[in-house]
Amino acid sequence: MALRVTTPSVSSTDPSLLLTPFQWTNHASIAQLDPRPSFDSEVYRTFATPPSGNSYLVPASFAGAFGSDLWLESWSYLAVNHRLPENEYPTSNTTLCGPITDSRILPADTYYLTCSVYVKSGATLTLNPGTTIKAYAQDSTGKATILVIEQGAKIMASGYANYPITFTSVLPEISLPRTGTWGGVLVLGKARINSNSSIDGTANVEGGLPGLNQLNFSSFFSNSIGLRPGYGIYGGFDDADNSGILRWTRQMVHWKG
């Protein structure tokens, strides 16, 4: 009987994990972790197929230890210490990350902030009744995730008593309430503010540099919420400015600065 030996192929690629700690020294210093690959990861396209005729091997749909199932939930150290999100998976249709430059309407569903979202001037973000926005604690650079409605932009979030619009954390309900779980919603208007020293009446968001502490959720204002320079400007002299509607919304954010 002849034995055929084949050399396995080896490849190296970025798995594009949903969230890896920006800096950490040990398991206790991890603020939040999601080891699953994002929906567009190469691991869903590049993996070995089992040889034909072998009934013991089951074809895989991804390479590595994780696909869309977060099998560490509920029993691992990270889970019981509130470091893992709910075992829900952000798809291409439900992932929110980066600037929104054109008006966008979100049908009622659950959406996931995997990094900070900036609704830019001239654009309107409309959330239908029953919509839920769940945010990760931070992005890949260690900055807390925030939803920013910039000057000149609008958010139209009009829910109903039985279909409210909810902003919350990706953490499981059993892990909440908990402080410092994400950066929150910032609406930056153009109306007069009660204190500023600038000629144009504007100011920068307090906390435009402070933010989420990677080691301790309760110490929210000690690192950075990810507002880049010029992205946290509010105020002015336009008292008729309109940044949209927040009606029958609830911010189950569970953080306090």
Determine contact, residues 36/71, Cβ cutoff 8 Å.
no
Q: What angle do CA 95, 96, 101 make, to 5 degrees?
A: 140
Average pLDDT for residues 178-204, to the nearest whole number?
83
**How do residues 209-228 score in pLDDT, each as one tens digit?**
333 333 333 333 334 555 66
- Residue 256's closest CA among 205, 196, 182, 189? 182
φ, ψ at 44 (rounded to 5°): -85, -10
At 143, list the tokens.
């900055």
d(CA 98, CA 209): 18
Find all residues with CB under 8 Å of 148, minimum gap 6, and list them.
Answer: 116, 117, 118, 119, 186, 188, 227, 231, 232
The more confident residue out of 131 and 181 is: 131
Q: What is the pTM of this model?
A: 0.82
pLDDT at 214: 31
Give 106's DSSP letter: E
